[in-house]
Amino acid sequence: MVGSIVLFGPPGAGKGTQAGRIVELTSKPQVSTGDMLRAAVKSGSPMGLAAKEYMDAGLLVPDDVIIGLIQERLQEDDAGQGVLFDGFPRTIPQAESLEQIATVSSVISIEVPDDAIVDRIVGRRMDPETGEIFHVQFKPAPPEIEDRLIQRPDDTEETVRSRLEAYHNQTAPLADWYSDRGLLIRIDGNASINQVGVSVERAISRIL
């Protein structure tokens, strides 16, 4: 049986955009720690308020908080056949904890060079009603919903630089970690949304 799948890559690689296709193809629920943290921030819980300080600074939220969130999420009924992790794990200790609680069948790494990332993130907009992600240049929203689109508070150029630094220092080493375990599938993410989607579909057909 295919267990969980990890969608891996730098901020702005297109993980959230491509996750929808993978959910359709695999019927596994998407588990995005970024979305879970944003929901906690919105709820005003003490954990959310503490996490917000890290998120606004472009830093990673401490491992114990993230691991606690994931442990709780994996108890839910829909997680029994494995899930699609999006934005998790982001550190080696997170991956080591995950190994104890779930089986990862494959890690799809969407690779995008740093110089393409800043433009992608700074132009990113979200529809708060549907969660759909647009881009002012690469994926414009229909004019009738343009007014309600929002920009994430951490999608500014300054914060992106910190997020990239955190990615290179703390998250990128996981590519070798998963490659050593024979689980890493690399995809060129420096292409159009549709082209990347085709590569994602190909990777999924190798996994299923």
Count the site residues for ligand AMP by CB under 6 A: 17
139 given a catalytic annotation: no
124 given a catalytic annotation: yes
Q: Strand 133-135 to strand 124-126: parallel, antiparallel, or no bridges (unpaired)?
A: antiparallel
Our CB check for ligand AMP shows the closer of 130 and 205 to be: 130
Q: 188 pairs with which residues across the strands?
A: 111
* Cα-to-chain-centroid distance, residue 9: 7
Q: Which of 28, 38, 90, 125 is catalytic?
A: 90
Our CB check for ligand AMP shows the closer of 64 and 198 to be: 64
Q: According to CB under 6 A, which one of 61, 98, 110, 174 is a site residue for ligand AMP?
A: 61
**Three-class SS of residue 78?**
helix
52 given a catalytic annotation: no
Which pair of structure tokens corresponds to residue 4?
């969980």
| Residue 39 C-beta-side C-alpha neighbours within 13 Å | 8
> Is residue 121 within the footprint of ligand AMP (CB under 6 A)?
no
Whole-angstrom Cα distance, residue 178 to residue 40? 29
Can you count the helices (H) and strands (E) in the chain? Answer: 9, 7
> Is residue 164 within the footprint of ligand AMP (CB under 6 A)?
no
Q: Which of 15, 28, 38, 120 is catalytic?
A: 15
> Is residue 60 within the footprint of ligand AMP (CB under 6 A)?
yes
What mask, x for binding ligand AMP by CB under 6 A, covers residues 29 to 58? ----xx--x----------------xx---
CB of 64 to ligand AMP, least distance (A): 11
Which 2-21 residues touch ligand AMP, going by CB under 6 A?
A: 11
8 Å CB contact between 126 and 25: no
Whole-angstrom Cα distance, residue 44 to residue 76? 23
CB of 13 to ligand AMP, least distance (A): 10
Q: 106 pairs with which residues across the strands?
A: 5
Whole-angstrom Cα distance, residue 119 to residue 105? 32
- Tell me which residues touch ligand AMP (CB under 6 A): 11, 33-34, 37, 54-55, 59-61, 66, 87-90, 94, 154, 163
Annotated catalytic residues are: 15, 90, 124, 152, 163
